[in-house]
Amino acid sequence: MASLFEATYGAVWPSKRRDMTLSTRGWELWRSNSTGAPNGLRCFKQHVNHSKPMSAIPQVFMGLNAIDLLIPGPLCIRVNPVNVTNTGMDIEFTTFNGTRVWSAGATWFAYVPHEGGPSFRTGTVQCDPSVSGYSLHLPGMPGYPHRFEYYVPFAQPFAPGQPPPTVLTVISGFNAPAKNENGVLPLRIRVCAPEVDYDHFKLVVETWEESLVSDVTVSWLAYSVNPDSPYRGCINSMAQPCMATAPNFLVSSGKGPRDFVQKITWPEFRDVPAVATWLSGFEIYTNTDVRLKAVEKARTRNGCDLIFGTWDNTIVGGGDITWFAFLDSAPSAAGAAGPAGVEQGMRDSNGRRFVMSPPPAAAAPAPASSMPMAPPMGAPAGGLAPPPGPADSEAGLECIVCFERPKDTLLQPCNHICCCSTCAAKLSPNICPVCRSAIESKVKIFFT
């Protein structure tokens, strides 16, 4: 099997829990301006290791996939990769002034391209009043989108003989006032790339109605695949709108955890692909705290479920999830299918392994069931907090069904560890939530 690029992806959700013993160690971003640093600047770093060393220092595309910010106070959160090496990196969350961040989630895709594989470019754009034309921090016309347009050049143009590149834009940071003159928070941001050429693309950042946005940090990923490449058909992406007009849009109002689940499809991969998700737009109108998540589950070779959710009494008017599905190896010369080569496994700062979603089984998965996956049964009262692991609370260990208890059950024969024993006992039909293969036995496991 030809390896056309090396890749790793994953997600972390450090957070404060109402039970302090379950909070992520070192997470102090929930405290209001407590550090004494200029402007109350506060930072948290979480180290992750690649499951095996990469052949070179990778490029990293990173953005937010979850937020839980407290009101009152301005709303500011940013995430970016630092200290990147071929063995791992630090994920850095920052905030400042009076912002209180209960939790935040970051998703990343890191890659080392190989000759003959897809061409990639990535970067970050800071959109704020120091950039000519930025005015989203000023009142706009009521009822109309308030736009900022910026042309982003590629440091190295794409080859004009191939199709124009695809560009993904996601939110990796923002800063906005806490409330308007009516005492209500209207937080509305959307980022997109409506025009793409071989040497640049046009970035559009929008807000609307009475929202004011002091600044937005946009991360972008551009890729192109030669139509003659053996990798053609092994990569897909899209910005998926989450519309309040959908009949099952349950997150617009209410109390408690609420999820809007959309089943999406793509041209069938030869194996179950890796899938990463980010927030690329949202509309929140609330006088309570700001809570939102964008995750995926139930992956198959031809689709997955996208989950756009909130909890407690946050009001969500809609948004956008950008997703990226890929395999990082091409079929062999004989055309045989094989398992994806993506390095999904990560390790936290204590050396414990965690994944965004468990890797696919080596055997071909059973056909997907037409029955939709049940939405998560609940979220912690304090926000998007990972459940306690054997020794501490680290992201990626939570049951993918309830998002509350830790994974502790081995499903056989596929050997996925993806849910807790409570949810495993209730699976109906009795199939693995990840690969949809029939379950013959369930074994409770214990971490040491």
Q: What whole-number distance in Å separates Cα of residue 125 and Cα of residue 353?
A: 32
* pLDDT tops 80 at residue 431: no
Highest mean pLDDT: which of 36-50, 75-89, 421-435?
75-89
If we measure between CA atoms, which residue out of 90, 66, 95 comes closest to residue 78? 95
Q: How confident is the model at residue 223 (pLDDT cuts 50, 70, 90)?
A: very high
Per-residue pLDDT of 378-396, as tens digits, reads 333 333 333 333 323 233 5
Q: What whole-number distance in Å separates Cα of residue 61 and Cα of residue 382?
A: 28
Predicted local distance difference test score (pLDDT) of residue 1 = 43
Predicted local distance difference test score (pLDDT) of residue 444 = 80
More confident residue, 315 or 65: 65
Locate 219 and state its tokens. 């991360």
- Burial (CB count <10 Å: 0-12, 13-18, 19+), residue 156: exposed
More confident residue, 262 or 414: 262
Locate 79 and state its tokens. 């995430």
The residue ranges of every structural domain in the chain are 2-330
Per-residue pLDDT of 68-80, as tens digits, reads 998 777 889 999 9
User: 266: which residues sit within 8 A by CB, 6+ positions away?
Assistant: 236, 302, 303, 325
Predicted local distance difference test score (pLDDT) of residue 338 = 30
Separation in Å, CA 406 to CA 320, 361, 379: 29, 21, 13
Predicted local distance difference test score (pLDDT) of residue 184 = 63
**Per-residue b or e along 359-371, where b marks 16 or more CB atoms closer than 10 Å to that residue's CB:** bbbeeebeebeee
Other C-beta atoms closer than 10 Å to the C-beta of 170 total 28
Least confident of 21-35, 176-190, 240-254, 298-312: 176-190
Give the pTM. Answer: 0.74
* pLDDT tops 90 at residue 198: yes
Q: What whole-number distance in Å separates Cα of residue 65 and Cα of residue 278?
A: 4
Predicted local distance difference test score (pLDDT) of residue 22 = 77
Q: Over pLDDT 90: what percentage of the chain?
A: 43
Q: What whole-number distance in Å separates Cα of residue 196 and Cα of residue 158?
A: 11
More confident residue, 72 or 133: 133
**Measured torsion, CA atoms of residues 311, 312, 318, 319, in degrees rounded to the nearest 10:** -50
Highest mean pLDDT: which of 123-137, 375-389, 408-422?
123-137
When pLDDT is averaged across residues 268-295 and rounded to a whole number, the result is 90
* pLDDT tops 60 at residue 63: yes
Q: How confident is the model at residue 35 (pLDDT cuts 50, 70, 90)?
A: low
Nearest 5°: phi and psi at 125? -120, 125
When pLDDT is averaged across residues 210-221 and rounded to a whole number, the result is 94
Q: What whole-number distance in Å separates Cα of residue 423 and Cα of residue 387?
A: 15
Q: What whole-number distance in Å separates Cα of residue 84 and Cα of residue 426?
A: 42
**HEC per residue, the chain:** CEECEEEEEEEECCECCCCHHHCCCCCCCCCCCCCCCHHHCEEEEEEEEECCCCCCCCEEEEEEEEEEEECCCCEEEEEEEECCCCCEEEEEEEECCCCEEEEEEEEEEEEEECCCCCEEEEEEEEECCCCCCCCCCCCCCCCCCEEEEEEEECCCCCCCCCCCCEEEEEEEEEEECCCCCCCCEEEEEEEEEEEECCCEEEEEEEECCCCCCCEEEEEEEEEECCCCCCCCCCEEEEEEEEECCCCCCCCCCCCCCEEEEEEEECCCCCCCCEEEEEEEEEEEEECCCEEEEEEEEEEECCEEEEEEEECCCCCEEEEEEEEEEECCEECCCCCCCCCCCCECCEECCCCCEECCCCCCCCCCCCCCCCCCCCCCCCCCCCCCCCCECCCCECCCCECCCCCCCECCEEEECCCEEEECHHHHHHCCCCECCCCCCECCEEEECCCC
Other C-beta atoms closer than 10 Å to the C-beta of 25 total 12
**Measured torsion, CA atoms of residues 323, 254, 370, 374, in degrees rounded to the nearest 10:** 90
More confident residue, 389 or 87: 87
Locate 286 and state its tokens. 């609330």
More confident residue, 343 or 39: 39
Per-residue pLDDT of 332-374, as tens digits, reads 333 333 333 343 333 333 333 333 333 333 333 333 332 222 2
Least confident of 162-176, 236-250, 382-396, 418-432: 382-396
When pLDDT is averaged across residues 407-425 and rounded to a whole number, the result is 83
* pLDDT tops 50 at residue 313: yes
Predicted local distance difference test score (pLDDT) of residue 366 = 33
Start-to-end CA distance of the chain, whole Å, equals 36
Q: Over pLDDT 70: what percentage of the chain?
A: 77
Q: What whole-number distance in Å separates Cα of residue 319 and Cα of residue 159?
A: 33
